[in-house]
Amino acid sequence: MSNFAHHRGASCALGFETAVHLAAKQLVADRMALYLPEVRVNVPGVADDGDLFAQPSLFAPAGVSRLQAVRVEASVGEIRPDLVVTLGGRDVLVEIAVTHFVDALKLRRVKDLRVAAVEINVSAAREMNFAALEAALFTSEQKSQWLCHPERDAEQERLEALAANERSCSHAASARRRDDNSARHKMAQQEERARLAAIRAEPAAAKLRQALDHMGARDAAELGFLPVPVKASYAISAPPLVWQAAVFSYLLHCAVEVNAASISARRVRAWIEERFEVPGNEQALAVAVWEFLIGLAALGLLHHEGRQQFLITFVGCAGARAVVADARGSGALPLSWMRSWPEQSTTKSLAIVFGSVFGSALKWERVAGLMPKVRGEEPPDAVIQHYAKGGLDAGLLRRFFLAVGFARLAGT
């Protein structure tokens, strides 16, 4: 089949374009079919944070559409498209582009009509025959685009309206959750303030009894190491034994068991201010708390790590009593194994503390891990001597056994 163009020049180019237009129109009219590009919409959605996003979605697939009618050069409003085709009961304007494409003015007029319009790009047919033009019009090889698609636009508007409404609902729900959370937070703060006010108002005897019960001690004498002498005791409106027992019970007694192996003087001051009346000035309170913690360090129960931070080197009130009693007795009493055994996680936590304070971290952890295997073979003092040969200090091993609850002083 012959080509559309054989000559060059302006008149030839015009003739070529006219020939292609006429041939394309005739082919569509004869076939009563046309390959139309796919139609996509951007489906908006609402993310969990309320932001909008869009995902392309197929609204109508590409393919050859069977036509119900074809009108050539029919006027529609102010424009005269190359073709007006009817499919599915709806008109579609068709522009066939060879060298001239729809400009901005014509595109605006097409959109004003609110009628579907498509531009078929057959410019590649410049050196082609009728067979090539057929391929361009009726297969996916053609390059075409929708100029206007009212149904797609209506669907896009519908989807965007739904998304906007969903976003509005999401924002409203988020606002309600924020308000609810804020209200719950305020209520929790009020309840906590009321709880702390009630604690501050409790008599000193009641506070002491609660602290002793928490530590499993019958009376203050059973502690054996409190109160620690401090200056500026007037800074806290409670006897030193009361506030010290409270701090020891609630901040130090169970700390290592829950992997909280350190405490700061600042944390202790804040805790006291919440639960006790503090008529003295801030400096006086700081002095009282500092001397209390330094006093516990002198007893071997804490280690001053630096600045206001202290490491806790005992487990529970029983461990603290045993360490202090042994120090006061100069380590003269023999040791015996405890009947009940501490949790492995607890022994490991204290071993890490001893390793941090005294060095040889791996050796301390190894000792803590091997204790369950050796306690039935030899008494504690013999085991201490055995491990002391491995490089650990015998006095520190003894303190570790007592502090963690491996061993107890004979007769206690």
pLDDT digit string, tens, across residues 87-119: 988 999 999 888 788 888 888 988 888 899 999
331 versus 213: the higher-pLDDT residue is 213
- List Cα–Cα distances, 127 to 18, 59, 132, 142, in angstroms: 14, 35, 9, 15
Q: Higher confidence at residue 121 or residue 5?
A: 121
Q: Are residues 307 and 333 in the same domain?
A: no
Question: Does the pLDDT value for residue 275 go beyond 50?
Answer: yes
C-alpha to C-alpha distance for 55 and 76, rounded to whole angstroms? 34
User: Is the per-residue pLDDT at 299 higher than 90?
Assistant: yes
Of 8-12, 196-200, 321-325, the one with minimum mean pLDDT is 8-12
- Residue-number span of the structural domain to which 379 is assigned: 325-412
315-354 burial, b for 16+ CB within 10 Å, e for fewer?
bbbbbbbbbbbbbeeeeeeebebbeeebeeebbbbbbbbb
How far apart, in Å, are the Cα atoms of 193 and each of 24, 186, 189, 200, 236?
A: 85, 10, 6, 10, 19
Q: In what order do the strands lie in the sheet with 69-72?
A: 69-72, 83-87, 90-97, 116-121, 143-148
* 102 belongs to a structural domain: yes
Whether 74 and 101 map to the same domain: the answer is yes
Where a domain ends, among 312, 341, 366?
312
pLDDT reading at 141 higher than 80: no
What per-residue confidence (pLDDT) applies to 3? 53
294 shares its domain with 345: no
Can you say how many angstroms the Cα of residue 1 is from the centroid of all Cα atoms in its chain?
68
Residues 299 and 358 reside in one and the same domain = no
Whether the pLDDT of residue 38 is over 80: the answer is: yes
Rounded average pLDDT over 131-143 = 75
Mean pLDDT over 243-253 rounds to 93
Position 36 in a domain: yes
R_g of the chain, CA atoms, integer Å:
45
Which residue's entry shows tokens 């951007």? Answer: 42
pLDDT for res 8 = 46
- Residue 7: band (very low, low, confident or very high) from pLDDT cuts 50, 70, 90: very low
305 has pLDDT over 80: yes
| Residue 14 within a domain | yes
Q: What is the pTM of this model?
A: 0.59
For residue 187, being part of any structural domain is answered with no
* Same-domain check for residues 330 and 304: no
Q: pLDDT-derived band of residue 142, with 50, 70 and 90 as boundaries?
A: low
Cα–Cα distance between 385 and 64 in angstroms, integer?
Answer: 95
Cβ atoms 301, 276 nearer than 8 A = no
Tokens for 385, please give them.
Answer: 């001597």
Confidence of residue 285 (pLDDT cuts 50, 70, 90): very high
- Residue 166 domain-assigned (yes or no): no
Question: Is pLDDT of 6 > 50?
Answer: no
Q: Which residue has the higher pLDDT, 405 or 17?
A: 405
Cβ burial, residue 364 (10 Å; 0-12/13-18/19+): buried
Question: How high is the pLDDT of residue 110?
Answer: 86
Confidence class for position 284, pLDDT limits 50, 70, 90: very high
Which of 312, 338, 368 marks a domain boundary?
A: 312
pLDDT of res. 1: 43
Q: Are residues 210 and 141 in the same domain?
A: no
Instruction: Tell me which of 102, 136, 157 is where a domain ends.
Output: 157
Q: What is the pLDDT of residue 362?
A: 84
The predicted pLDDT at position 311 comes to: 94
Contacts for 274 with CB less than 8 Å, ≥ 6 apart? 196, 199, 200
CA 196, distance to chain mean position in Å, is 32
Q: Are residues 89 and 151 in the same domain?
A: yes
At 154 the pLDDT is 84
Provide the pLDDT for residue 44: 78
- pLDDT band at residue 9, thresholds of 50, 70 and 90? very low
Cα distances (Å, whole numbers) of residue 300 to 225, 243, 303, 319, 325: 11, 20, 7, 11, 11
Q: Are 69 and 125 within one domain?
A: yes
Q: How many whole angstroms separate alpha carbon 52 and alpha carbon 59?
A: 20
* Residue 151 domain flag: yes
The pLDDT-based confidence of 210 (bands split at 50, 70, 90) is: very high
Quote the crossing angle between the two packed helices 204-215 and 240-247, to the nearest 10°. 40
The predicted structure's pLDDT at residue 84: 92
Name the more confident of 41 and 181: 181
Question: For residue 24, what pLDDT band results from cuts at 50, 70 and 90?
Answer: confident
Q: Tell me: do 134 and 219 sit in the same domain.
A: no
Question: pLDDT tens for residues 182-201?
Answer: 999 999 999 988 888 888 88
Residue 257, pLDDT score: 78
Please state the φ and ψ torsions of residue 82, each to the nearest 5 degrees: -60, -40
Check whether residue 116 and residue 230 sit in a common domain.
Answer: no
308 plus 330 within the same structural domain = no
73: phi > 0 → left, psi -120 to 50 → alpha, else beta; which?
left
Average pLDDT of every residue of the chain: 85
Distance CA 292, CA 282 (A): 15
Share of the chain above pLDDT 70, in %: 91
Cβ–Cβ < 8 Å for 270, 282: no
Among 13-17, 192-196, 206-210, 334-338, where is mean pLDDT lowest? 13-17
Task: Please indicate, yes or no, if residue 189 is contained in any of the structural domains.
Answer: no
How many folded domains does the chain comprise?
Answer: 3
- Cα–Cα distance measured from residue 412 to residue 322, given in angstroms and rounded to the nearest whole number: 9
Are 300 and 268 in the same domain?
Answer: yes
Residue 81 lies in a domain: yes
- Give the C-alpha separation, 227 to 296, whole Å: 10
Q: What is the structure's pLDDT at 153?
A: 85
